[in-house]
Structure formats: C-alpha cells, structure tokens
Structure 1
Amino acid sequence: MSRKATSQDVADLAGVSRSAVSLVLNGRGDGNIAPEKQAAIREAAARLEYTPNPSAVSLRSRRTRTLGVVTDAIASTAYGGGLLQGASELASRSGHLLVLVDTHYDERREAEAYRTLRERRVDGLLFAAMSLREYDAPAAPQGIPFVLANCLDPRGAVPGFVADEVQGGRDAARLLLEAGHRDVVLLAGNRADIASTLREQGARAALEAAGLPALRTVETGWEISGGVRAATAVLTGPCRPTGLLCANDRVAVGAVLAANRLGLSVPADVSVVGYDDDENLAAPMVPALTTIGLPHRAIGEAAVRRVLGDLEQDPGGRRGPGTVLVPCPVVVRDSVAAPHPS
C-alpha cells in the first residue's frame, strides 16, 4: 500500500480488534490474547511492515520505551553475549530499546551510568555481571523497576536472576553416576568464587544421595593449564578415578590433554564432564565435551520480563525481592562413557 500502515490495518488483516493489536505489539499479549491470535497479529504486522510509532506510544504512556542496562564488563567480551542478546530481543519484541553502559569495573563510571540513565528517564534498570557474584546494588529511583542479572544483592532488596549452580553441579555429577562411575574427582575452580562453591555443593549432594564416599576435590583455577596440572596429578596418583568433574570447559580441555599425554583415552579410560558449554571449546573438542550450560540468554530474558511485568503491574510478573534460579541445561556429547569393568 502507498500510505503507511496503521494499527487498524493490522487489526483488519488479522481479524482482531485494534486494542488486541496494541496489547500484542507492546509486549502485553500473554495472558490477554490467545496464542493463535498473537501469531496472526505479528504476521499481519510483518506483511504490512507496520511498527508502532515510538513517539506516539511514549506520549500516551508517559514512558520512553527504553530500558537502561549497566554492566561491569559483559559488553566488551564475547562471554556474556547471550545474556545481552536475550535481554535485547525480548525488549525489542515489546517495543523497548536497551541503552547499554559498560563500566569496566570502574565505580565512578558505574555511578555516572546510573545517573545518566535516570536523567534520560529510562523506564527500567538492569545491572548485569560478567561472573556470578554479590553486588551491592544502589537504591533505584522510586517507581523505576530494577533487577540484577547474573549477580545477587546480599541485602536481598533487589531481585536477582542467576544460574542454578547447585543443581548444575548435581546434574554434572549425575552424568557420571548414571553412566556407572563410582570413583569421581572434582577439579574445582577457585573456592573463593561463589559459582565454584555452589557447583561443588551440588556435586557432593549427588554423590551422597548415591551412597558414595565424600567427593575428592582438587583446586585448579579456571584455565586449561590448571586442568592439565591437576588432571596429570590425579591420573598418575593412587586410586585413579574413572570420572573427572571439571570446574569449566577450559579445565575439562586441560583434563583431556593430560589424559592423552598419559596414553589414556577419553572416554574409554576416563570420562570428563565440563561446565559452561563454551561455544569455542565444548562442541569443537575431540571428543566433544559433555557439559553443563550456563543459561545466560534465559537469564537476560527473565530479567527483562520481570522489569516489563513490573512496568505493567502484572500480578503474575510482580514478585518481591529475592533470587530467581534459572535452570542450567545438560548438554550430552561424547566425553562420557561407562567405566571399564574392574
């Protein structure tokens, strides 16, 4: 059509009311509009190349349709890309734009970032951390939803969305236990890190539930070199284990390298489980690593969904402060097999 499509045009093509179009294209369709009608509205909008006028929407709602995101280092690394992608795509589907500020762990930059975003009248605020940690969150301005992604407020005043690391550690151990392994060693990362402690807690719980002796652990750090050193010591020492749980995929790569240097085959002689599902390591490895994924994308989506729910004062989306645990996916590949019979 020669003129710009309107929401009424979309409504007519989809066979729905204009208010239904508004609800769906402003991210408020779930729970209000049937899924098949939502699909019809989005298809009609795409065919007509219709997009809501941001200025008109802002004037009607007295909102800027922007969400401010402050990060410590995520924006300057590839590692946290999934979190930002999940947050950005969900925000975009609801007609919101993310305004991102990376502070590089500089407290002065961080304070300035919050001040600038408030001055720009963002509708909601998120803080996203590179690695799971505690974060002393500042008080959000009255009426502006504020959530944390991949970090925890030690006071419990600001809701935080984080990976369920305890269950992740439990699932990692179960991968070996269900394959028949009974002699397992954990190549732990750094016990000063929250994630390492929680993963170990879950792994210990899995072995205890299976009636096995306490989990043996070796602190390795998070790098390939640490995995090589620790795995070499464990695999050449007394009571060689049949399964290795690794702090992350880099440590797991180190463990596989160590096993190969010792003439051991993975998984025929020793099974290895990683953690993170690092796209640059886990799948390309030989053998491809069985691992536990970090749900960064789901964390970003959940954090934005909470902000949007609070903005709409949706009873189903509004919850009090606290921590929301996001499940870690189990990724089965080739590095785990049943142990050789003794």
Structure 2
Amino acid sequence: MNIHDVAKKSGLSVVTVSRVLNHSPSVRESNRQKVLKAMEELNYQPNSAARSLVRGKTGVIGMSINNFNDSFYDRVIRVVNRKLTEQGYFLALSIAENEDEGDNFLFQKDRVDGIILLSPLEEEASVEELKRKNIPFVLLDNQFQHEDVPSVVVDNYQGGYEATKHLINLGHTQIAFIGGPSVFLSVAERKRGYSQALEEAGLTSFGTDSCGFTVSGGYEVAKRWVREDKLPTAFFCGDDFIALGVVQALRDEGIRVPHDLSVVGFDDQQFAGEFYPRLTTVRQPEAQMGSIGVDLLMQLIHGEVMPPAVTKLAPQLLVRESSANVRLT
C-alpha cells in the first residue's frame, strides 16, 4: 500500500493525503477524517523516514543527561517522553557521564529536531555548540543563566529557606548544613536559603560541610562530626542521599532520629518515604519541569515567540518523620 492507494480509497487527491500525513492545518476536517478512515481500512502505515525527508524533520528529540542514579532524573525523563510521544516525537537519550559533551552524538541537525539538556555539567560548551549548529534546545536544572536560552530551574534558594525555617519552627537553634559539590549552583542556592532563614531568626550557623551526592559521603561527614564531638540538634542536607548517610551514621552511634537529632533532605528521592524514619525533604517539581521544557522546545521548533528565558519553579516541603521538636535537656 502507498499514498496513491489511500488517495484512491478516500476519493481525494494525493496532495490532500500528503497534507494529512504531515499534519497540515489547511486540510478540512471532513477530508482529514476520510483520509484517516481510508488508512485504517487499508491498514496503511506511512513510512516515517520518507515523511521526515519531505518535512525536513527527523521526528526525534534528543536528551542529554549525566546518569540514571537519581529518581529525580527518572521522573523528568518519564514526563518528557510521555509528552513527546503525544506530539508524535521519539525521545533519544544520550548519557554523557564524564565524556566531553561537545562530542555528543545527538548534537547533529540531521539526527534530531531539538535537544533537551538535563542538569548539564559541561553546560557552556554544549550551549555554544548547539547555538553554532542552530539546533533548537532548552535547559533543565542548569547551572548558569543564559538570557537568550530558554531554561527551567527550581527555586533552590526557596527550598533551602523553607527547610531551615521548618527546623527553626520546631525550636532548633543549632542547625548545620551539609551540601554537595560546590560546582553546582543548586548547592550554593540551597545554602543561601539556609543562611537567610538563620539570619532572619537571629541565629548563626552551627557549621557547614560538603561531600558528594552519595550515601557514603553523608555517612563519612556525620561520622567525622561525631568523632569531633560537635553535633548540632538538626542537619539540613542538600540532598537525600547525603541525608540517608547521615541517618545511618547517627544510628550506628546510638543517636536516634528524630528523637535526639532531626534530619532534613532535598529532592524527595524514591527511597525518601520508604525507609525508617521516613525522610522530611524538599520535593522538586520534576513533572512540571519536564512538561514546561517540552512546551518551550516545541515553541522553538515551530518558530513561535518565546517567553522570558528563565522559568523558575517553586519546590515543596514534605514533612515526614525525620524532623521533630528539639529535645530539651
């Protein structure tokens, strides 16, 4: 079966059938339905490669990520994939890890119609390459602000502020912060929110530290603080993996969470609500981030006028079992 058979079956011209296949808005709805009915009766499946050649499009959207070891990434990808599928696009993933993102195999116009960069590490190099190759792209959870590039980020400052304010409202005055690697803007913003909440309450930081976004990193930091005998009444951890490591280290030392010491995380990883004590944390609106990212990219691809470059989303504090009123001695 081919396009001529569909035209004959529907009683319409080959041109009209072609317009229906290419989603042209100029086709009358009655004619569109005739073509679709003829295709169904003939069990006609249009060749996607041939259609791409005609339209000058690949039907593929690329997404570059660093790893899968994070349920935040997983939730963003699922939303992006679902929205793209609804619009007739196929999602192709590229896992950059430690490779030079400038060599990303998806960064070619004959391979994709657009690119989504999720939490890029070599961000500036990728932005320059995509601009040079004139490939439509958007940034999600990026580190730097680019006035001419659409991006969707979470208000990490607000998240850090609300997490710390929650602990202050529970009566804690000795609150420490353990963040991730300093290369990430999100880490600096969460720490800035922590500092602002303390300042407004007339408090000073009990202390700050940093490690990788890992359970072992949080475990080692907490163990060191225990050895140095300088424990606060509450830890705000800039990541759930770090928070889990802190809880495990404290448990090993016979320190009960939240009875003796409160712990708050960030991200709402999948495990956060599944281990004991269930973790109080700050959830990032990953579904909203993925959905808006796709909408922005589609606007770029279709040549529509773009909104302001940066879309900032509000996080949500989820109060569970790992935080409680300060224990009075």
The one-letter amino acid of 1:83's match is V
Cα contact 2:119–2:143 (8 A) shared by 1: no
Report the counterpart of residue 78 of structure 2 in structure 1: 85
Indicate whether 1:290 and 2:280 are aligned. yes
Task: Choose which of 100, 103, 117 in structure 2 pairs with 1:127.
Answer: 117
Q: Alpha carbons of 1:105 and 1:219: their partners in 2 closer, same or farther (altered >3 Å)? A: closer
CA RMSD after TM alignment: 3.6
Q: CA deviation at 1:140?
A: 3.6
Q: Alpha carbons of 1:289 and 1:125: their partners in 2 closer, same or farther (altered >3 Å)? A: same
Cα contact 1:135–1:154 (8 A) shared by 2: no
Report the counterpart of residue 223 of structure 2 in structure 1: 232
Cα contact 1:103–1:109 (8 A) shared by 2: no
Q: CA deviation at 1:222?
A: 2.9
Report the counterpart of residue 149 of structure 2 in structure 1: 158
Report the counterpart of residue 252 of structure 1 in structure 2: 243
Q: Alpha carbons of 1:221 and 1:100: their partners in 2 closer, same or farther (altered >3 Å)? A: closer
- Residue aligned with 1:127, SS: strand
Q: CA deviation at 1:149?
A: 1.9
Indicate whether 1:325 and 2:312 are aligned. yes
- Residue aligned with 1:245, SS: strand
- Residue aligned with 2:221, SS: helix
Report the counterpart of residue 264 of structure 1 in structure 2: 255
After TM superposition, the structure 1 = structure 2 runs for residues 304-315 of structure 1, keeping only pairs within 5 Å, are: 304-312=294-302
Q: CA deviation at 1:267?
A: 0.6
Cα contact 1:152–1:160 (8 A) shared by 2: no
CA distance in 1, matches of 2:188, 2:101: 30
Q: CA deviation at 1:215?
A: 5.1
Q: Alpha carbons of 1:66 and 1:105: their partners in 2 closer, same or farther (altered >3 Å)? A: farther
Q: CA deviation at 1:323?
A: 2.9
CA distance in 1, matches of 2:219, 2:134: 51
CA distance in 2, matches of 1:285, 1:109: 40
Cα contact 1:235–1:241 (8 A) shared by 2: no
Q: Alpha carbons of 1:110 and 1:161: their partners in 2 closer, same or farther (altered >3 Å)? A: farther
Q: CA deviation at 1:187?
A: 1.9
Deviates more, 1:204-213 or 1:96-105: 96-105
CA distance in 2, matches of 1:65, 1:106: 25
Cα contact 2:176–2:205 (8 A) shared by 1: no
In structure 1, stretches of 5+ residues that fail to align are: 1-21, 29-47
Report the counterpart of residue 322 of structure 2 in structure 1: 335
The one-letter amino acid of 1:195's match is S
CA distance in 2, matches of 1:229, 1:78: 20
How many residues are matched?
289
The one-letter amino acid of 1:129's match is S
Q: CA deviation at 1:159?
A: 2.0
Indicate whether 1:274 and 2:265 are aligned. yes
The one-letter amino acid of 2:293's match is A
CA distance in 2, matches of 1:335, 1:233: 21
**1:8-54 CA deviation, whole Å, 9 max, x = no partner?**
xxxxxxxxxxxxxx9xxx8x9xxxxxxxxxxxxxxxxxxx9xxx979
Q: CA deviation at 1:202?
A: 1.2
- Residue aligned with 2:272, SS: coil
Q: Alpha carbons of 1:63 and 1:85: their partners in 2 closer, same or farther (altered >3 Å)? A: farther
Task: Choose which of 99, 103, 126 in structure 2 pairs with 1:110.
Answer: 103
In structure 2, stretches of 5+ residues that fail to align are: 1-19, 26-39
The one-letter amino acid of 2:165's match is R
Task: Choose which of 287, 291, 297 in structure 2 pairs with 1:301.
Answer: 291
Report the counterpart of residue 64 of structure 2 in structure 1: 71
CA distance in 2, matches of 1:108, 1:182: 44
Cα contact 1:66–1:99 (8 A) shared by 2: no
**1:263-297 CA deviation, whole Å, 9 max, x = no partner?**
22111111110122221x31222101111123333
Q: CA deviation at 1:108?
A: 7.4
**1:239-261 CA deviation, whole Å, 9 max, x = no partner?**
64211111322221222122223
**1:50-91 CA deviation, whole Å, 9 max, x = no partner?**
xx9796xx68x94647242141434x5554222211111112
Task: Choose which of 178, 183, 202 in structure 2 pairs with 1:187.
Answer: 178
Cα contact 1:231–1:255 (8 A) shared by 2: yes
Q: Alpha carbons of 1:112 and 1:224: their partners in 2 closer, same or farther (altered >3 Å)? A: closer
CA distance in 2, matches of 1:335, 1:108: 38
After TM superposition, the structure 1 = structure 2 runs for residues 21-36 of structure 1, keeping only pairs within 5 Å, are: none
Cα contact 2:144–2:185 (8 A) shared by 1: no
Q: Alpha carbons of 1:304 and 1:54: their partners in 2 closer, same or farther (altered >3 Å)? A: farther
Q: Alpha carbons of 1:229 and 1:143: their partners in 2 closer, same or farther (altered >3 Å)? A: closer
Larger radius of gyration: 2
CA distance in 1, matches of 2:102, 2:134: 24
